[in-house]
Amino acid sequence: MGKRVQVIEVFDSLQGEGVWVGVPMTFVRLAGCNAPELGLECVKWCDTRYAWMPHAGIERAVESVASEVTLPRCCVTGGEPLLQEEEVLRLIAALHGKGVLVHLETNGTVVPNVLPPADWIAVSPKPPAYHVSPKLAGVAGEVKVIIDEPLFRLGLERASNRVGEIVCPFADAQVCLQPEASGGSELVRMAIALVMAHPDWRLSLQLHKIVGIP
Ligand code: SF4
């Protein structure tokens, strides 16, 4: 029997965040998240709580999941997809086998045994420590920092310094600042002010929430 993977959902949509915003992709959301056990503060505003439990969703053959992907790009996300590292490697291989480019979204906390050969890796370090595996930071194309209330309360100058520290290990990644969606417009204004002060950073708004798509 082929490798099986615990999957929450597979759906087609536009990439809603970061560098590839607006590009059609098939999303494969995997089950399980380590943020609650690590005490990460993103649990307060997470919009995919339904993906936290390791046995949520259904167990499926990797090949069957790959066969559902018909778009040129597939975004493997979670939860934290690297909790199923071996399965992710198999899924990437199956997708590459059919010519699909793979984007991987991770919180960066899992130290992978093998560097995932994804075509694009987006890392979103999580508060309070924003710790990221140096292995992943070294290959990320994108680092997404969520501007949340605690960062906002630092004020512009200290928040700027803090974001600078968070993204420091990501020498080659595009920095994307994304206001936390349930926060007020002051978070958006803070993210804009930070980007204007650092023109090599960019603003990321959640397109899918703005236009009402999955
Ligand atoms: S790591 Fe991602 S899926 Fe897990 S709680 Fe944080 S935001 Fe949600």
Give 113-149 pLDDT, tens digit per residue.
999 999 999 999 999 999 999 999 999 999 999 999 9
Please compute the mean of the pLDDT values over residues 36-57 and round it to a whole number. 97
142-178 b/e (C-beta count within 10 Å ≥ 16 → b): bbbbbbbeebbeeeeeebbebbeebbebbeebbbbbb
For the chain, how long is the longest CA-to-CA vector?
56
Comparing 64-68, 102-106, 171-175, the range with the smallest average pLDDT is 171-175
Angle (nearest 5°) at CA 85 between 80 and 89: 120
What pLDDT score was predicted for residue 133?
97
> Which residues line the pocket of ligand 1, CB cutoff 6 A?
33, 35, 40, 42-43, 46, 48, 51, 78-80, 107, 126
What pLDDT score was predicted for residue 1?
55
Please compute the mean of the pLDDT values over residues 140-161 and round it to a whole number. 98
> Is residue 30 within 8 Å of 6, Cβ to Cβ?
yes
CA 174 to centroid of chain Cα atoms: 13
> Is residue 88 within 8 Å of 38, Cβ to Cβ?
no
Please compute the mean of the pLDDT values over residues 78-96 and round it to a whole number. 98
Comparing 2-6, 45-49, 104-108, 119-123, the range with the smallest average pLDDT is 2-6
What pLDDT score was predicted for residue 143?
98
Averaged pLDDT of the chain: 97
Distance of CA 1 from the midpoint of ligand 1 (Å) = 31
**CATH number assigned to the domain with residue range 4-211, chosen from the 4 options 3.90.1150.10, 1.10.150.120, 2.40.170.20, 3.20.20.70:** 3.20.20.70
Which pLDDT band, with edges at 50, 70 and 90, does 204 fall under? very high
Q: Cα separation of 82 and 93, whole Å?
A: 15
Ligand 1 site-directed mutation target among 107, 131, 132, 145, most atoms within 8 Å of CB: 107
In the chain, what are the domain boundaries? 4-211
Length, in residues, of the chain: 214
What pLDDT score was predicted for residue 171?
83
Nearest residue by C-alpha to atom 6 in ligand 1:
42
The separation between the first and the last C-alpha atoms of the chain, rounded to the nearest angstrom, is 32
Please compute the mean of the pLDDT values over residues 188-203 and round it to a whole number. 98
